[in-house]
Structure 1
Amino acid sequence: MIPQETIVALATPSGAGAIAVIRLSGKEAIAIAAQVFQSVSGKELSRQKTHTIHLGHITDEGKVYDQVLVSIFKGPHSYTGENVVEISCHGSTFIQQQIIQLLLRKGAKMAQAGEFTLRAFLNGKLDLSQAEAVADLIASDNEASHQIAMQQMRGGFSNEIAKLREELLNFASLIELELDFSEEDVEFADRTAFHELLNRIEFVLKRLIDSFAVGNVIKNGIPVAIVGEPNVGKSTLLNALLNEERAIVSDIAGTTRDTIEDELVINGIGFRFIDTAGIRETKDHVESIGIQKTFEKIEQAQVVLFLVDSSQLTVDSLEPLKNEAERIKNKYPQKALLVLFNKKDLLSEELISDLRSQIPNSLFISAKNKEGIDELKNALLSFVNTGALRNNETIVTNTRHYDSLLKALEEIQKVKWGLNAGISSDLMAIDIRSALHYFGEITGEVTNDELLGNIFANFCIGK
């Protein structure tokens, strides 16, 4: 059931600023605002056209709260599909709270987290995947995550799912019709065309499922662990990547005793760099805790930068170095590994060439002089498949969508098996209904109050 109360909340971030926006939504939004608004032109707010802006004052019993701009959006032509009023006032926190409290006294109710977008969904202005994209858009902190959220909010993902669901629903109707004429032994659904549709749906579902690996790292950032022995330049490398003195640099081994994290956007892709404690045998209790955290961060990372001090390279140390790189690779086979030789200026071209041939995925840098940093950034980008992003393909970033797609694919594969095996229409219809159910879960055609509560609880109050 769609709530009937008129809700109010601050739509801009809390705290002082130049301007703040207070939003009202509901059947009585304009009427409530009209009770406290006096236009400088003397116009009555309730008689004004939709999508208009009016200058005036918020007043009550002769007291003037602020000079404001009031924007009117009449339903259904608004974000929520209801009457919406947005009051742009000065950004004093005192003024904000005074106006909100006044509106509450006049009959409005305080909005819950995400309630404006929830109403947009309930009123058919957005489907569920688009509503979730609103939260992703607000949270986006780099170009790539912003691009994906915008595409999903405009309905790119929804349209693709809706088209597949509609085609499957048409065939499901024919299959169900066959059940009504089971004694006649007739087939209304063209089995050949149905098989082609199932193949096409399976192909699209697999592509969307595969895109989640890219979408998830773009949305959340790609964790990169910088590891190596103490004093090889890990903190210096982090500072060079971030172009600031973020980590403490010292000649004393074991200076970094805890992990230090910071983010960097490279060509629109977010990377979360983790400077870890040096790995070595130690009796220092605090340092040993830091080393334990290093291994935990390697577990969490998707890319491992194994940093080596070139000044410490000898003929005898080369073989243990290769073994250590191989050990990391074998222990974490799903993670990309780059071996970085720091202080490259101490190496001859001949030795660099020899090391390249013996140790795959090796780069040569000087963290102190910031040499080879651009090459390192390009190497990091190579680990991200941005082809789908460049081609504006649909990319899945939401775990809930990913789970529903997996379940839908499983049901589609059951239908394919049943079609090939020639099973009866009634059994095949069960699997088709299940597939349609999981498609509907994505767009919100199939939902429940608990699911909606979980989704919209993560929104900010004014959205």
Structure 2
Amino acid sequence: MRAGDTIAAISTPPGRGGIGVIRISGPAALETAASIFKPRSAEPLGSPALARVGKVFDPASREILDSAILTYFKAPHSYSGEDVVELSCHGSPIILGRVLEMLLARGARPAEPGEFTLRAFLNKRIDLAQAQAVKDLIDAQTEFQVRLATRQMEGALSRQLSPIKDALVNVIVHLESSIEFVEDDISPEAASLLEDKLDRLIDRIAAIAASFSLGKYVREGFDLVIVGKPNVGKSSVFNRLIGRDRAIITEIAGTTRDALYEATSISGVPVRLIDTAGIRETTDIVETIGINRTRTAIADADVALLVLDASEPISADDNALLGEIPLDKRIVVLNKSDLPRRMTGPSGEPCLLISAITGEGFDLLLASIMQRLAGDSSIERDDILITDVRQHSALRRAIPQLEEAKAILNSGGHEEVILLKLRSALEAIGEITGETLTEDILGQIFATFCIGK
């Protein structure tokens, strides 16, 4: 980004629509927009936060191109913290392209991906965690993703990290004062108090970092494979989960010969459901190929839903599948609870009783899937979730630095070494909100944004 430039870009998605918006940001934003816009009234265009109706025209030919609305946001009270103008035209790609060309011909340059949001960050309108949430909001596919991204964009994560950083700074200041003004080593009492503070900081950071176990799936989605021997109702479970008849269902064992994929969401988390061929001993060549693909899907999936038929006794094929699917990956369900029950399920393992026909037990099944994704961490859906790998990595790097600082403090080590560890932890946490990142890393982050945002 070149400071002082005025940038312009189409901010609405490609394609046709009722309205298309061209955004301009920088010191010459109003002047550049005014060179191609003629307001309906004679009042000057300099009034901020006021929408003006007028015409967009080509200054070279004086040809009227479109009716438009110009809105001016004066720095620093704008999205980017600079002077910003938004021109709302009809959403024709031809019109929007012509308007952008005219703005570029009059001194603006094309905005780089994410440059409006980068300028908002550099002008301290938002921090980096909020900036990344902007992209998450744009990319959201479910209502839960929207709610989570909105909370992050409003600063929820930053507010959780702020007292942690303040507490860490206080510990650093305390140690620096001891080094500068006190000749003796830190007293055992003072060291104990500092160790308690570090313990609390480690616990708080670890709790936030643990949310990534679910947060990574909220951001990227997960694969859930439905497996079982033939004719246990796998395709019926598949159809129930996606809410429509996608898989063919018959009473003939082996109807599903190949994996069937469908994208949906479970409790607001994107999921790719995989209905698979039933696994059993067979000499059929086509069915064998399907079974091999089922085993590949099991290996690649995040969660495996092992479906057993509750109306039949457990079989050798069922037991073979129980031995084949890892315990930490599988959820065992006993389907066909609407029929007389003849199976108790595998010994010593929790099972869920469901009916793909009536829907019985599916609420509990969905909750179990979410709990499996969350792992050992106790995460509530309304908690702040770490969804970004970079943010999680920063938190995980801060924890051992604090643990090492505590160990050195406990052993009576040098305060300078302790301070080095504490500053490293503070720097790692600062990477999340952007205080301690280099320009190259910032460029990599914002390069993933769309142009116009």
Could you say whether these structures have the same fold, taking a TM-score greater than 0.5 normalized by the shorter chain as the test? yes
Aligned length: 444
Equivalent residue for 1:67?
67
Correspondence 1:390-429 to 2 at 5 A: 390=381, 392-429=382-419
Correspondence 1:240-251 to 2 at 5 A: 240-249=240-249, 251=252
Conservation of the 8 A alpha-carbon contact between 2:307 and 2:333: yes
Query: Larger % of helix: which?
Result: 1
Task: Provide the rounded CA distance (Å) in 1 between the counterparts of 2:231 and 2:392.
Answer: 42
RMSD: 2.7
> 1:318-359 CA distances to partner (integer Å, 9 max, x unpaired)?
25255235314xx423224122334x45x425x25x459886
Task: Provide the rounded CA distance (Å) in 2 between the counterparts of 1:207 and 1:308.
Answer: 36
Task: Provide the rounded CA distance (Å) in 2 between the counterparts of 1:114 and 1:285.
Answer: 52
Offset, 1:451? 1.4
Equivalent residue for 2:340?
348
Conservation of the 8 A alpha-carbon contact between 1:223 and 1:272: yes
Task: Provide the rounded CA distance (Å) in 2 between the counterparts of 1:74 and 1:293.
Answer: 59
1:261 is aligned to 2:268 = no
Of 50-59 and 227-236, deviating more is 227-236
Task: Provide the rounded CA distance (Å) in 1 between the counterparts of 2:167 and 2:352.
Answer: 50
Q: Which of 324, 327, 333 in structure 2 is aligned with 1:333?
A: 327
Offset, 1:448? 1.4
> Structure 1 residues 359, 128: CA separation in 2 closer, same or farther (over 3 Å shift)?
closer
Task: Provide the rounded CA distance (Å) in 2 between the counterparts of 1:171 and 1:341.
Answer: 57
Equivalent residue for 2:319?
323
Conservation of the 8 A alpha-carbon contact between 2:279 and 2:317: no
Task: Provide the rounded CA distance (Å) in 2 between the counterparts of 1:134 and 1:261.
Answer: 28
Q: Which amino acid aligns with 1:402?
A: H
> Structure 1 residues 436, 360: CA separation in 2 closer, same or farther (over 3 Å shift)?
closer
Equivalent residue for 2:365?
379
Task: Provide the rounded CA distance (Å) in 1 between the counterparts of 2:30 and 2:285.
Answer: 65
Offset, 1:249? 4.0
Conservation of the 8 A alpha-carbon contact between 1:389 and 1:395: no
Q: Matched residue of 2:119: which SS?
A: helix
Task: Provide the rounded CA distance (Å) in 1 between the counterparts of 2:86 and 2:50.
Answer: 11
Equivalent residue for 2:296?
296
Offset, 1:304? 1.9
> Structure 1 residues 325, 377: CA separation in 2 closer, same or farther (over 3 Å shift)?
farther
What residue ranges of structure 1 are gaps of 5+ in the alignment? none
Task: Provide the rounded CA distance (Å) in 2 between the counterparts of 1:26 and 1:374.
Answer: 59
> 1:188-242 CA distances to partner (integer Å, 9 max, x unpaired)?
9943442232122111011112211122223333432111234443333322322
Q: Matched residue of 1:384: which SS?
A: helix
> Structure 1 residues 171, 359: CA separation in 2 closer, same or farther (over 3 Å shift)?
closer
1:220 is aligned to 2:206 = no
Task: Provide the rounded CA distance (Å) in 2 between the counterparts of 1:24 and 1:163.
Answer: 37
Conservation of the 8 A alpha-carbon contact between 2:228 and 2:307: yes
> Structure 1 residues 414, 230: CA separation in 2 closer, same or farther (over 3 Å shift)?
same
Q: Matched residue of 1:245: which SS?
A: coil
Task: Provide the rounded CA distance (Å) in 1 between the counterparts of 2:36 and 2:145.
Answer: 41
> 1:279-316 CA distances to partner (integer Å, 9 max, x unpaired)?
245566665554333223323333322223567x35xx
1:78 is aligned to 2:78 = yes
Of 221-230 and 10-19, deviating more is 221-230
Equivalent residue for 1:139?
139
> 1:375-433 CA distances to partner (integer Å, 9 max, x unpaired)?
2243222342597445x432211111111111101101111111111111111111111
Task: Provide the rounded CA distance (Å) in 2 between the counterparts of 1:101 and 1:4.
Answer: 20
Equivalent residue for 2:112?
112
Q: Matched residue of 1:340: which SS?
A: strand
> Structure 1 residues 458, 244: CA separation in 2 closer, same or farther (over 3 Å shift)?
same
> Structure 1 residues 139, 358: CA separation in 2 closer, same or farther (over 3 Å shift)?
same
Task: Provide the rounded CA distance (Å) in 2 between the counterparts of 1:27 and 1:289.
Answer: 64
Conservation of the 8 A alpha-carbon contact between 1:356 and 1:362: no
Correspondence 1:429-448 to 2 at 5 A: 429-448=419-438
Equivalent residue for 1:185?
184
Of 250-259 and 13-22, deviating more is 250-259
Task: Provide the rounded CA distance (Å) in 2 between the counterparts of 1:357 and 1:187.
Answer: 58
Q: Which of 440, 460, 463 in structure 1 is aligned with 2:450?
A: 460
Q: Which amino acid aligns with 2:340?
A: S
> Structure 1 residues 58, 412: CA separation in 2 closer, same or farther (over 3 Å shift)?
same
Task: Provide the rounded CA distance (Å) in 1 between the counterparts of 2:208 and 2:404.
Answer: 19
Equivalent residue for 2:350?
360
